[in-house]
Amino acid sequence: MFIIGELINGMYKDIGKAIQTKDKSVIQQKALEQIKAGADALDVNCGPASKDPVNDIQWLINAIQEVTDKPITIDSSKPKVVEAGLKVLKGRAIINSTTADEEKLEGLVPLAIQYNAKLIGLTISKKGIPQNKDQRLELAAGIIAFVQEKGFPIEDLYLDPIVMPVNVAQAQMRDILESIHDFKIISDPAPKTVVGLSNVSQGTCQRSLVNKTFLIMAVGFGLDAAILDPLDKDLVDGAITSDLILNKHIYCDSYLDAYRKK
């Protein structure tokens, strides 16, 4: 499981304040904490309150790069903000994200190619969030066809079925899980899959348990990566163990520590 730490997001009070006051140490500590807990990459999002996201994303990325060279996912729906992030990022970037809309793809796929970045594709369009598996697959096929035509490597594409809160869209959970499986069989080579895990538990009283259960089920459906809270130790232990069960790393008695030190 490729673990992307979600905690550098302006929606969190401490991060929002650090962005406003340009307090690098808060950001750097949050980066190192997440990596120590097992994060393979860091999601970076200025949050909805940022008045100058182009400048803020560059400041955030520069602050993080001073303490780690882990990959960064630039989390913004605005191509201008994504491009600003790509300009300062030294390591390999992951663009988070494009939608299935042609104009978004036209803007972001050439940028991904130019910067040798990976790309997250959300199966969502101007018509809104899909209501069933067929709609998700149709959007996924559209994204795959588009990137293929531009010559972007499918292995660097991460498709995201858009996870909804279970208390809002309970009837869709099975479709979301099955989409993760089906995305990988509609193209050869297969794309990868990713979810924003914490979405599933928003507004519920059992956040950690709901997150963990969904993640482990999603791994069973072939999930490759997740944006999640790596400081939830049980959650990360569950992710590592589910990969172990799928024979993705070798068992030893200290496999949890061994994985985190890799």
Query: Phi and psi dihedrals of 6, rounded to 5?
Result: -100, 0
Contact between 199 and ligand THG per CB under 6 A:
yes
Give whichever of 35 and 44 is closer to ligand THG, judged by the CB atom: 44
Position with the least CB separation from ligand THG: 196
Rule CB under 6 A: which of 14-73 touch ligand THG? Answer: none
Q: How far is the CB of 4 from ligand THG (least distance, A)?
A: 9
The token pair that represents 213 in the structure block: 């259960």
Give the helix/strand (H/E) hosting 5.
strand 2-9
Residue 254: which residues within 8 A CB-CB, separation 6 or more? none
Tell me which of 96, 98, 135, 179 binds ligand THG, using CB under 6 A.
96
Tell me which of 38, 71, 191, 196 binds ligand THG, using CB under 6 A.
196
Give whichever of 11 and 185 is closer to ligand THG, judged by the CB atom: 11
Contact between 163 and ligand THG per CB under 6 A:
yes
Q: From CA 118, how far away is CA 245, in angstroms rounded?
A: 27
Give the helix/strand (H/E) hosting 53.
helix 53-65
- The residue among 154, 163, 165 whose CA lies nearest residue 136 is 163
Give whichever of 14 and 102 is closer to ligand THG, judged by the CB atom: 14
Contact between 202 and ligand THG per CB under 6 A:
yes
Contact status, residue 140 vs residue 123, Cβ threshold 8 Å: yes
Q: How far is the CB of 187 from ligand THG (least distance, A)?
A: 19
Q: From CA 190, how far away is CA 158, in angstroms rounded?
A: 10
Contact between 211 and ligand THG per CB under 6 A:
no
Rule CB under 6 A: which of 223-242 touch ligand THG? Answer: 227
Q: How far is the CB of 195 from ligand THG (least distance, A)?
A: 6
Tell me which of 9, 50, 193, 242 binds ligand THG, using CB under 6 A.
9
Give whichever of 11 and 251 is closer to ligand THG, judged by the CB atom: 11
- The residue among 175, 221, 215 whose CA lies nearest residue 199 is 215
Contact status, residue 210 vs residue 201, Cβ threshold 8 Å: yes
Measured torsion, CA atoms of residues 115, 117, 121, 127, in degrees rounded to the nearest 10: -20
Q: From CA 86, how far away is CA 148, in angstroms rounded?
A: 22
Residues in the site for ligand THG, rule: CB under 6 A? Answer: 6, 9, 11-12, 75, 96-97, 120, 160, 163, 194, 196, 198-199, 202, 227
